[in-house]
Chain A
Amino acid sequence: MKKVLQVSGVTKRFGGITAVGGVSFDVFEGEILGIIGPNGCGKSTLFNCILGQLMPNEGSVKLDGRDVTGMRPCDLNRLGVSRTFQLLQVFPQLTVRENLILSGQEHQGSMAGRLFGRRDAGLGAEADKMIGFFNLGHLAGEKAGGLSYGQQKLLDAAMAFMAGPRLVLLDEPAGGVNLTMLESLKERLRAINAEQGATFVVIEHNMEFVMSLCTRVLVLAEGRVLAMGTPAEVRANPEVVEAYLGH
């Protein structure tokens, strides 16, 4: 299988504290990799290192074999990498549809092009498709800030898929989402994975969500890789049980 993302020896220190210490793993095309671990084990820091929001002290990140360590998030975005956020990051005063259109744009070109170009930048149809896909049809014209938390999470996910990304990193997509919404989110993610062939990396606290969604799971503890394997293997690993699952 083709490696989409190669993380090798990524280390991030904040002062004397090593938040992520020499983490290595590969992500294969089309898979859904889950990253789990207790609070403060370095999951989000690892994500931020991969996505160029933090520069790792050591190690490298490769996308399709190309070194992208420390590359700016917006440039990574253009290479087909997008992300969702643990805390919501939608634009509250814009409508659902406008949010989607904004996140699908390349944001390049001249001032005149922006002023007189098409308002939907030719992405209206794509946005409507995504709205239909995530069952947001009745909310398309609503301001994003007026949506419920779960609906905003769906919008956040939909935004990440607007640019037709090859690799999507989802930071706690299930956090604060109610059970019904959770099922529909999981089902949508699976469908989009099958349809677009996009590769996912999911950070999540919700064990059930990860175990039922992901093809492989990586367990992080105190900034290091504790175990990696299929959900069943990870569940059976005594160290994992000790560190995380067991109580």
Chain B
Amino acid sequence: MSTLINLIISGLATGSIYALVAIGFTLLWQTSQTINFAQGEFVMLPAFFMLAAMNAGFPFWAAILIGMALSMLILGVAFKRMLVDPMLKHGVLPLAIATMALSLAMKESVKQFYSAEAQPFPSLIPSIDLHVLGAVVSTQSLGVLAVGIGAVVALQFLLTRTSVGHQMQATAQNPTTARILGIPVERMIMYSFLINAGLVAIASVLVTPLYLAKFTSGETLGLAAFIAAIVGGFNQVRGAIVGGLLLGVVDNLAATYISTQYRAAVPLMLLIAVILFRPQGLLGSAEERTV
């Protein structure tokens, strides 16, 4: 029982990281039909920005801020202006393929210009084991979960309780009308790219201390976020949250109770089951698009 509690809490912690990445993923899809196959690498890169800043002599907190800012600039503004805007004119598929190329370019660049070795990364939250109801729970898991939930709540507040959030939703749901009403559609789309860049940077700070900074570390995360988004429902922010948390817990339980060897297969089986029986995702709604 105590193992189970422990597994669920640490699963939720990992899951909240998946959720952050998956939310960004669905936001980009909703506002600009971007399927970002480089999303995993988007999580890998900010950690290297932060490491580089620390190597240059900045303290950890300043390095985090620098990493965030660079992430917004490069993974937000530059990504939209230099890759999405020119490619989207040619359609959704060419853009998706371009993001695959981007993911390769990002991986290889980090390997080439930084290091192919895994780099240790300091943790924001000290790791202390707490004994709760006989279970051992790490403060790190709780901290990750808290930051993850905090980020999600803040985002939900922005999207549903503010004027700008409504304008962003309007842009995602019906860009033509939004434009006629005078909503600055282009700016709203840019906001969603900035939010995505912020989310991946937060995820990067949370996940890197657990798995080290390595050029390949985006691969599993990108896949997890993709699965989480599809399982939860591609067109719903709350679907991405549920998908992420569910995946984190299922992943953890599978590793313990089924087999570590089949651990990676379980999320994929979940994905296949969802696609077979509920293709719109657990919380998603069916979406039609003329192609």
Contact = CB atoms under 8 A, between A and B. Distances in A.
B161 A103 contact: no
A115 B177 CA distance: 22
Given A91-B169, A93-B173, A83 B163 contact: no
Interface string B144-187: 00000000000000100111101101100110111111111000
A115 B164 contact: yes
B164 A103 contact: no
Interface in A57-77: 73-75, 77
A74 B163 contact: no
Given A114-B163, A119-B161, A78 B182 contact: yes
Nearest to B172: A93
Contact of B182 (A89, A92, A107, A114): A107
Contact of B174 (A91, A107, A121): A91
A179 interface: no
A90 B167 CA distance: 13
Contacts of B162: 114-115, 119
A89 B167 contact: no
A74 B166 contact: no
Interface stretch (A94-102, A182-190, A216-224, A232-240): A94-102
Contact of A73 (B169, B173, B179, B184): B179
B170 A111 contact: no
Give the dominant DSSP class at B's interface.
helix
A53 B177 CA distance: 11
B163 A77 contact: no
A94 B180 contact: no
The interface size bin for chain B is 20 to 34
B163 A103 contact: no
Given A93-B169, A93-B173, A94-B169, A105 B164 contact: no
B113 to A, nearest CB: 34
Given A94-B169, A117-B163, A119-B162, A89 B183 contact: no
Given A98-B166, A115-B162, A117-B163, A91 B177 contact: yes
Nearest to B158: A115
A74 B176 CA distance: 11
A102 B183 contact: yes
Interface string B226-250: 0000000000000000000000000
A105 B183 CA distance: 9
B176 A89 contact: yes
Contacts of A26: none
Q: Output the residue of B162, B167, B169, B180 with the most chain A CB within 10 A.
A: B180
A77 B181 contact: yes
Contacts of A107: 167, 181-184
B173 A105 contact: no
A102 B164 contact: no
Nearest to B170: A91
A14 to B, nearest CB: 19
Contacts of A85: 177
A119 B157 CA distance: 11
Contacts of B163: 105, 114-115, 117-119, 121
A98 B174 CA distance: 14
Nearest to B181: A103
Given A91-B169, A94-B169, A94-B173, A77 B180 contact: yes
Nearest to B168: A114
A95 B183 CA distance: 18
B169 to A, nearest CB: 6
Given A92-B173, A93-B169, A111 B182 contact: no
B173 A77 contact: no
A217 to B, nearest CB: 26
29 contacts: A53-B180, A73-B179, A73-B180, A74-B180, A74-B182, A74-B183, A77-B182, A78-B182, A89-B174, A90-B174, A91-B170, A92-B173, A92-B174, A93-B169, A94-B170, A94-B173, A102-B167, A103-B181, A105-B181, A107-B182, A108-B182, A111-B164, A114-B162, A114-B163, A114-B167, A115-B162, A115-B164, A119-B163, A121-B163
Given A92-B173, A107-B184, A115-B162, 6 more contacts: A91-B177, A94-B170, A94-B173, A107-B167, A107-B182, A115-B163
Q: Which 8 A-B pairs have the closest CB atoms?
A: A74-B182, A114-B164, A89-B177, A73-B180, A107-B182, A91-B173, A114-B163, A91-B170
